[in-house]
Amino acid sequence: PVAMFGPRNIVKGSFKIKYVMPGDDTADAVTVEYFSSRTWKPDETTAKLPDSQGDNPAKVNLFGCTAKEHAQREGLYIAANNRYRRRMVSFRTELEGMIPTYGDLVAITHDMPRWGQGGEVVDWRAESTKPPWVGAVLMLSEPLTWTEGASHYLALRRRDGSLAGPFRVEPVADAPTMARLAEPLTVTPYTGGSEERTYFSFGPGQAWAQTARILAIRPRAEQVEITAVAEDARVHVN
């Protein structure tokens, strides 16, 4: 992800999720038209997901494609995209909303859909005297909720808005607002008061945040409105 958005940099009350439900007219397959390098004629192939009937295909003309295998791969991607990318996300942020551009992947943390836990680093210490920081322990602004038996990860936002991590972390006994890194920390957290403190995103496994693909970025006075679609790993079947 090129940027991280969470409770500290999403404008309060602006976060919205829309679930786009499939209907009777929704395409369940994709017919890809391409120019065959074998016959030197226009050709087509229909791609559908394994459990799809393929009765209502959408048509796509793939300019520059000359191989059936390539057309099949692109068709499967489009079909999977149509089925699994159906959670539309919108929110407002400040000028850091100009960091990503169309198609970029961002990490979103928010408590409403339970997409990880977020906050800021208020203090930290490490066993080493220079980066990468070994044995780092972070003190956080929010108490963490740990899932028994799961591996937990924590990502940090760099000063330029980009993402560092995620790093595997472990709990600190009797300290719900602290986390001990199980691997070297490659970024130096900022905990002062002259600029924004380092933001964090935390959760078990892949649930430390929700990745989303940027669809639109619209300036709104001193704020920026971002529209994205929640990513789903099943889209990338090939």
Q: Which domains does the chain possess?
A: 29-85 (no CATH), 116-208 (2.40.30)
Query: Residue 18: is its pLDDT beyond 80?
Result: yes
Banded pLDDT at 30 (limits 50, 70, 90): confident
Residue 209: how many CA atoms within 13 Å on its side-chain side?
A: 28
Q: What is the dihedral of CA 45, 82, 208, 3, to 10 degrees?
A: 90
Q: How do residues 101-154 score in pLDDT, each as one tens digit?
A: 999 999 999 988 889 999 999 999 988 888 888 889 999 999 999 999 899 999
Please provide the average confidence, as pLDDT, over all residues in the chain: 89
DSSP code per residue over 88-149: EEEEEESGGGGSS-TT-EEEE-BTTTTB-EEEEEEEEE-SSSSSSBSS-EEEESS---PPTT
Q: How do residues 162-197 score in pLDDT, each as one tens digit?
A: 899 899 999 998 899 999 999 999 999 998 888 889
